Amino acid sequence: MNFFMYSKCGEGAGLMKKLQDEGNDCSISILEKDYSNIYDGILKKSDFPDEDAIMIFDSSGMGTRADSLRAGGYKVFGASKFHDKLENDRKFGLNFMESNGILIPETCDFTNFSEGIKFVKENKKKRYVFKPSGKNLPCKLTYSSSDTEDLLLYMNYVEKNFGKDVEEFILQEFIEGAIISTEYWVGKKGFVLPVNHTIEVKKLMNDDLGPSTGCAGNIVWKGDDDSEITSLLNSIEDELVKEGYIGPIDINCIVNEEGIYGLEWTPRFGLDAMPTFLQLLNQDVGKLISDSFNDIEDMEILDYFAGGVRITIPPYPIESPERIEKNLQKISPNVGIPIRGFEYCQDNCYFYEIMKDNDLIVHSSGTGVIACVSDLGMTPESCFDFPYDILEECKVPDKQYRTDLDEILPRMYKEVKGVLENVYS
Angle among Cα 38, 18, 368 to the nearest 5 degrees reads 30
Using pLDDT thresholds of 50, 70 and 90, give the confidence band for residue 36: very high
- Give the residue, 225 or 284, on which the prediction is more confident: 284
CA atoms of 68 and 74, how far apart (whole Å)? 9
- Provide CATH code, domain 176-425: 3.30.470.20
Using pLDDT thresholds of 50, 70 and 90, give the confidence band for residue 225: confident
Query: How is 64-102 classified by DSSP, letter by letter?
Result: HHHHHHHHTT-EEES--HHHHHHHH-HHHHHHHHHHTT-
- Provide CATH code, domain 2-84: 3.40.50
The residue type found at 28 is I
Q: Which CATH number fits domain 106-173: 3.30.1490.20, 1.10.8.60, 3.40.50.10860, 3.40.50.300?
A: 3.30.1490.20
Domain boundaries, the chain: 2-84, 106-173, 176-425
- CB proximity list for 133: less than 8 A, separation 6 or greater: 88, 89, 90, 166, 167, 168, 169, 170
Among the ranges given (119-128, 321-330, 364-373), the one the predictor scored with the smallest mean pLDDT: 321-330
CA 328 to chain centre: 24
Model-level pTM greater than 0.85? yes
Question: Of 138-142, 239-243, 247-251, which one has max mean pLDDT?
Answer: 247-251
Using pLDDT thresholds of 50, 70 and 90, give the confidence band for residue 323: very low
